[in-house]
Structure 1
Amino acid sequence: MASKVITASEAAALIKDDAVVTVSSASALGCPDATLAAIGAQFDATGHPKNLTMLHPIAAGDMYGVKGIDHVAKPGLLGRILAGSYPSGPSTAEPPAIWKMVGDNAIPAYNIPSGILFDMHREAAAKRPGVITKVGLDTFADPRRHGCAMNAAAEAAPVVEVLDFRGEEWLFFPCIVPDVAIIRATTADERGNLTFEHEGAYLGPLDQAMAVRNNGGIVIAQVKRLTRAGTMKPLAVHVPGILVDHVVVAPDQWQTCQTAYEPAISGEISRPLESFDIPAFDIAKVIARRVALELKAGWAVNIGFGISANVPRILIEEGRHGDVTWVIEQGAVGGVPLLDFQFGCASNAEAIVPSPQQFVYFQGGGFDCSLLSFLQIDASGSVNVSRLSARPHVTAGAGGFVDITARAKRIIFSGYFNAGAKFAIENGTVEIVKEGKVKKLVPEVEHVSFSGRRAVAQGQEILYVTERCVMRLTPAGVEVIEIAPGFDLERDILGQAEFPLRVANDLKRTPDRLYHPAKIGLALEEAHHG
């Protein structure tokens, strides 16, 4: 049996000009960085491969040690990119190279919802024409808005259209057939079978490999180590060797962002609950506590980046861990979702499922609630999380946000009312030390990541939790239903919004116990699933 093991440089040399390359990664989680670096080096040395189309269902690289897509973000090498999200960097740093190419209109660049991009791979594998979906209607994915285009070059080459099917309106994403898949695992055997025992998630390599294999392309797997054929347990093999052409060994691949390896992330050990940091008492913790009050025991709850990512720590502090089951788009079910650089992973997960299947669960609204953030809210209740023209390389795109919110039963958006505001909490009352200069409640959001109009039409329950008030979405608009202690309704809320807010007749006061350092005595009502 001929060896499938080749060097990263040899793998790069196999990629032909004009190829469509799909990469499995979620920031640094599962990123085949050594192979991407070899492609960039191959181009620098030879001028090939050139004019690649790159598909990234989630994102490749994090700009904090794993460059990912930036290895190939070179004029001439990269010809087009379609990604669920893009690497972001600190506002004080030089923008990632990919953002410069996007901003300079050097290549067509698209932000396609992650779940839809995975769906496109499945359809390509089965040789069907594309994806018909209602996910993305009336958002930036809708061609009547931006059609997923991130720049003018992309607007000139649409990737989605509106379709009338049996009297209903749908979006149609034609398949883009990949020629090369670059995926990552922990271990390969001599036949190319892949196991993922040190990974923080599976992501979507099986779907990506099948899309390539079924269409006559090549599949390159980057792994940490090799083992003898016949030594792997068959149920542990997630990608079978019949789908893998070549194996690149890169022993130093990071498990995820800023993390070489933590066995609790890959489910090999379970961390004690007391080992998780509890957020310090501040205004962000108050917001997370208020979000926690909306949860019910027995719910499956999706969680996103931002203030709401701290809600699992609130439940740990209150002795309520396990009352809800957290589910995240990278595939973890249960456990404790991690923060900061490790976001997208969980410790002590009950299960880790492939991302494409997790997105089917999300797109169909099978979970009970989603906790998400916002950059802007507008008069229709729509939310922007995916683009701010003033800070383009700090906003990374939508990822799975559009898939998650499309049919979610309940969504709780949380964040600060104005950007840049400073607060002090004294004796259970909040004082504005410095008002924020950037209004986040605007007449019309810059980018529609979530459609308030569709939410109203579908009967979704939508709340917006901020440091100064709680609002809900009604058919008549956004309504203030609760005010926090220390804030003046006219001056601090109505006067700081750039569109008229409604005020509930029974305006309530946020519970005072949230504004003291002591535990709040959280008790979650039992959910009743019908």
Structure 2
Amino acid sequence: MNKVVDGAGAAVEGIGDGASLAVGGFGLAGVPGVLIKALLERGCRGLHVVSNNCGTDGRGLGELLAAGRIGRVTASYVGENKEFARQYLAGELEVELIPQGTLAERLRAGGCGIPAFYTSAGVGTLVEEGGLPWRYGRDGSVLVASPPREVREFDGRPYVLERSIVTDFALVRALKADIYGNLVFSKAARNFNPLAAMAGRVTIAEVEEVGELDPAEVHLPGVFVQRVLVVGETEKPIEKVTVRR
């Protein structure tokens, strides 16, 4: 039952070309940077990444993006990543942009074994009607567009059907773990990391420390986690530094 692995290379073992990955983090908070670098060194290509955003230029998932390793992104916004925008508009990258709350619930539903759900988010927009550009041609034409969503009324209100998300692997960052994979997250890192961890068939967590945990403080049960990598304290970059005069 000891899920602690020896080294980043062992942690990402089995991830190959074309794999789908749910990746935790919000901006640059709670991003599993050590695992992302290990994946970069592994040389995987054509990855399908599901994450709130795709890091920033040269940071987080932005490292894989800059190296041309990502083929498709499912996210809620482009964020502070010029290379992400460039690849998308140039037709080099397929991008599915969906409402942030819908993305969170699709990941959670995938982890809970719920195949689909109805939501009011996106009703009356291109989310419902279809036609959102997923992939552009090099001439600016739309090669792949989002399909229309099924709509159903409940109590007189329309709702669109959204499919849950389950990925081959999940990469997450936590503050603490025990050897069984129970995780505790720090502050903003708790936003998307637990949801991403739930959605992965094989979930890999990089953590600062491993030790005994009080059951009452566990944020994510170890049943969702298959591998734990101890990385210690690492750099925690800030997405956009602002100061007040």
TM-score (structure 2 length as normaliser): 0.82
Q: Which residue of 2 aligns with 1:384?
A: none
How far does residue 111 in structure 1 lie from its aligned partner after superposition?
Answer: 1.5
Contact 1:23 1:60 survives alignment (8 Å): no
Match of 2:208 among 208, 220, 224: 224
Q: Which residue of 1 aligns with 2:184?
A: 195
Match of 1:181 among 166, 170, 174: 170
How far does residue 28 in structure 1 lie from its aligned partner after superposition?
Answer: 1.0
Contact 1:27 1:59 survives alignment (8 Å): yes
Match of 1:61 among 46, 49, 55: 55
Within 5 Å, give how 1:52-91 maps onto structure 2: 52-56=47-51, 58-63=52-57, 67-73=59-65, 77-88=69-80
Q: 1:75 to 1:32 in 2, by over 3 A?
A: closer
Tell me, in whole angstroms, the C-alpha distance in 1 between the residues paired with 2:235 and 2:188. Answer: 10
Q: 1:34 to 1:60 in 2, by over 3 A?
A: farther
1:207 corresponds to 2:195: yes
Contact 1:22 1:54 survives alignment (8 Å): yes
The C-alpha deviation readout for 1:496-523, integer Å capped at 9, x for no partner, is: xxxxxxxxxxxxxxxxxxxxxxxxxxxx
Matched residue pairs, number? 238
Identity %: 24
The C-alpha deviation readout for 1:182-213, integer Å capped at 9, x for no partner, is: 111111222222122x443411333332332x
Match of 2:112 among 111, 115, 126: 126
Q: Which residue of 2 aligns with 1:18?
A: 18
Match of 1:116 among 68, 77, 102: 102
Match of 1:103 among 89, 98, 105: 89
Q: 1:60 to 1:101 in 2, by over 3 A?
A: closer
Tell me, in whole angstroms, the C-alpha distance in 2 between the residues paired with 1:256 and 1:143. Answer: 39
In structure 2, list runs of 5 or more residues that go unmatched: none
Residue 85 of structure 1 aligns with an amino acid whose one-letter code is Y
Higher-Rg member (1/2):
1
Q: 1:2 to 1:168 in 2, by over 3 A?
A: closer
Contact 1:82 1:110 survives alignment (8 Å): yes
Tell me, in whole angstroms, the C-alpha distance in 2 between the residues paired with 1:28 and 1:7. Answer: 23
Residue 242 of structure 1 aligns with an amino acid whose one-letter code is V
Aligned to 2:220, the other structure's residue is in SS state: coil
Q: 1:10 to 1:111 in 2, by over 3 A?
A: same
Match of 1:238 among 188, 200, 219: 219
Residue 62 of structure 1 aligns with an amino acid whose one-letter code is T
Residue 200 of structure 1 aligns with an amino acid whose one-letter code is A
Specify which structure has the bigger relative contact order, considering alpha-carbon pairs within 8 angstroms and separated by 6 or more residues. Answer: 2
Question: Which consecutive segments of 4 or more residues in structure 1 shift more than 4 A?
Answer: none
Tell me, in whole angstroms, the C-alpha distance in 1 between the residues paired with 2:234 and 2:147. Answer: 33
Tell me, in whole angstroms, the C-alpha distance in 1 between the residues paired with 2:233 and 2:104. Answer: 28
Q: Which residue of 1 aligns with 2:160?
A: 171
Q: 1:17 to 1:157 in 2, by over 3 A?
A: farther
Match of 2:241 among 323, 333, 341: 341
How far does residue 24 in structure 1 lie from its aligned partner after superposition?
Answer: 0.9
Tell me, in whole angstroms, the C-alpha distance in 2 between the residues paired with 1:25 and 1:221. Answer: 12
TM-score (structure 1 length as normaliser): 0.41
How far does residue 237 in structure 1 lie from its aligned partner after superposition?
Answer: 1.2
